[in-house]
Structure 1
Amino acid sequence: MINRVLIRIRVIQVLYSTYLNESGDLKKAETELMFSLQKSYDLYYYLLALLIEITDTHTRRLESRKAKLLPTDEDINPNTKLAENLFIKQLKSNEQFNKYVSDRPQSWEDHENYIRSLLEKILNSDIYAEYLANEVSDYDTDREFWRKVFKTFIYCEEQLDDLLEDDSLFWNDDIEIVQSFVIKTIKKFDPEKGANQPLLPMFKDEEDRQFAIKLLRETMFNVKLARDYIDKYAKNWESERIAFMDMIIMQTAVSELLAFPSVPINVTMNEYINIAKSYSTHKSSSFINGILDSIVTELKSENKLLKK
């Protein structure tokens, strides 16, 4: 689930913090990197739990209406289609989900007002009206309902983004990425797999996990080598005048170019230029592009870029 785009961002953030604190502690940096990536994976489960919490809040509301002193016929015989949603029932029984939230507990209890507000938006929406009006009541309909709800009311929703950023500083940069994987997960749910429906792993494979660790190590080990290349082509700039973040981005990019023969040059270049656009000054991306392009040209001429 955690892709290399997010890995590169996290490595740069850890390096920024490490160098800013004038620490060269590799072990501490590795621990911080893996902790931050774990928090990204926590967010994946936290958002899945949000769907359950919305449904449970709706169910409790229906039960409380039945207990009113003078309940109406609608209170006594409510439409329970949402409360009995088959997709949510499968998610609630999912063994992988329940084990993870048991090992790493997270709760929406502190955000009851947000849950109630979100539920109201859903219940008053055309999506919900169409869901109730649909005479077909099956798993595909129930799953599609939640896919539409997530895309419409949760994905890139400003109030939720602010709430999540307040909950964890580690979630500032990965909310949109993780939300896209939640949508992917909803679409992949298969009723035939029941409680054993696989959820996305933290890393696609062990290679991606090793990519994260190796990228951090190579960048910290080869600071002087990368700085020599950067200084050579930043002739009109003294090192002290180059933005701190720009230097870290370029050092990491040079390390990736040299240490990962399976990663195409254009992929590495594009990824770090995009990071510069989001995390440094408005002129950084073009500056970094020029420096890296010159370094790549030299490395090629010296046969030091051994790409597969």
Structure 2
Amino acid sequence: MLALMVAVNKEASRRMEVMVQRAKREGTPEPSQRFVLNRFAIQLAENKQLNDFVSTQKSGWDENAAFVASLLEKIEQSEVYQDYMNNPEDNYDVDREFWRKIYRTLIQDNDELDAILEDQSLYWNDDKTIVDTFVLKTIKRFDEANGPKQDLLPEWDSEEEKDFARKVFRAAIMNADEYQRYMSEASRNWDFSRLAYMDIILMQIAIAEMMTLPNVPISVTINEYVEIAKFYSTPKSAGYINGMLDGIARNLVESGRLAKFIEPKKEREYKPKKQIITKKHD
């Protein structure tokens, strides 16, 4: 997504060369180059981390030249662009803020772009919101003084966070049969084989977190996966997963397989947010 901004600026530079040459031939005033000489865009194009990443990719925005050209035209027709070109202030902060506004208004919510990304990977629908947040934060962090050595926003806040994700993921995969047995034991009144597969996945990861991260309270784990279920599973899944995980945790604690304190059920009883769930279902 950062490389897309570079691609747009590159296309604008190509067009500018043509217009400047035409103006020289015809003896007319040359067009303003403020957009193509945007300080932030030039710094981003020279960024070492970004260029190292792009060099490892099998595809790039050159394969979607028509979209890049279309996006550039929309930018040039936008109110944000007109305000920028007419702004009497001309400094790095103005240049950086211009691209932040362009990303928010024309790139963040762009159906044509979403279609291109979905063709590359179905998982983009899930990733795009997070990526947009990362991009906007990255733009805000840019400092002209850092030049091409500007650090991009890291994927992880810390090594501890990275280890957390790896540990939970590994445990969920390696102990899948054992964790699903816990679910089966807790679903005596249900046909386990008929459960929504996404519910099984979410509970499997939640159990992995309970079993492998002793410092995370059970209530925190359950609440996290109940919230995730609201977005990724069925309208009834949040309440069901809440009850199942609560029962599984109690069985594990009582049997000595899980050494954690568990709160009295009445203090953390799940209350479904009907309005939110109904809205998501609709």
Contact 2:100–2:139, Cα closer than 8 Å, also in 1: yes
* Residue 73 (structure 2) pairs with residue 73 (structure 1): no
What SS does the corresponding residue of 2:99 show, helix, strand or coil?
Answer: helix
Q: 1:176 aligns with which of 129, 137, 146?
A: 129
Q: Distance in 2 between matches of 1:155 and 1:73?
A: 37
Give the structure 1 partner of residue 18 of structure 2. 64
Give the structure 2 partner of residue 132 of structure 1. 85
- The superposition leaves residues 261-295 of structure 1 with CA deviations (integer Å, 9 ceiling, x where unpaired) of 23343442233223323332222222111111222
- Identical counterparts, % of pairs: 41
Structure 2 stretches lacking a partner, 5+ long: 262-282
Within 5 A, what are the aligned runs for 1:83-98? 83-98=36-51
Q: 1:223 aligns with which of 173, 176, 185?
A: 176
> Residues 105, 244 of structure 1: CA spacing in aligned structure 2 closer, same or farther, 3 A cutoff?
closer
Give the structure 1 partner of residue 147 of structure 2. 194
> Residues 265, 82 of structure 1: CA spacing in aligned structure 2 closer, same or farther, 3 A cutoff?
farther
> Residues 121, 299 of structure 1: CA spacing in aligned structure 2 closer, same or farther, 3 A cutoff?
same
Q: Distance in 1 between matches of 2:181 and 2:65?
A: 54
Q: Distance in 1 between matches of 2:241 and 2:175?
A: 18
TM-score normalised by L of structure 1: 0.76
TM-score normalised by L of structure 2: 0.83
Cα deviation, residue 136, structure 1: 1.0
Aligned amino acid, residue 17 of structure 2: E
Give the structure 2 partner of residue 14 of structure 1. none
**Count, aligned residues:** 259
Give the structure 2 partner of residue 237 of structure 1. 190
Give the structure, 1 or 2, with the largest relative contact order (CA under 8 Å, sep 6 or more).
Answer: 1
Q: Distance in 2 between matches of 1:184 and 1:139?
A: 17
What SS does the corresponding residue of 1:84 show, helix, strand or coil?
Answer: coil
Aligned amino acid, residue 78 of structure 2: S
Q: Distance in 2 between matches of 1:134 and 1:267?
A: 49
Give the structure 2 partner of residue 20 of structure 1. none
Q: Distance in 1 between matches of 2:103 and 2:179?
A: 44
Q: Distance in 1 between matches of 2:89 and 2:140?
A: 19
Contact 1:257–1:305, Cα closer than 8 Å, also in 2: no
Give the structure 1 partner of residue 101 of structure 2. 148
- The superposition leaves residues 49-87 of structure 1 with CA deviations (integer Å, 9 ceiling, x where unpaired) of 11111111111112122344974725xx11111100000
Deviates more, 1:132-141 or 1:282-291: 282-291
- The superposition leaves residues 31-54 of structure 1 with CA deviations (integer Å, 9 ceiling, x where unpaired) of xxxxxxxxxxxxxxxx11111111
Aligned amino acid, residue 172 of structure 1: N
Contact 2:218–2:260, Cα closer than 8 Å, also in 1: no
Q: Distance in 1 between matches of 2:213 and 2:85?
A: 53
Q: Distance in 2 between matches of 1:67 and 1:279?
A: 54
* Residue 62 (structure 2) pairs with residue 109 (structure 1): yes
- The superposition leaves residues 179-224 of structure 1 with CA deviations (integer Å, 9 ceiling, x where unpaired) of 1100000000011111111112333332233223322221233334
Contact 1:87–1:143, Cα closer than 8 Å, also in 2: yes
Aligned amino acid, residue 211 of structure 1: F
Q: Distance in 1 between matches of 2:219 and 2:109?
A: 29
What SS does the corresponding residue of 1:148 show, helix, strand or coil?
Answer: helix
Q: Distance in 1 between matches of 2:259 and 2:111?
A: 43
Structure 1 stretches lacking a partner, 5+ long: 1-46
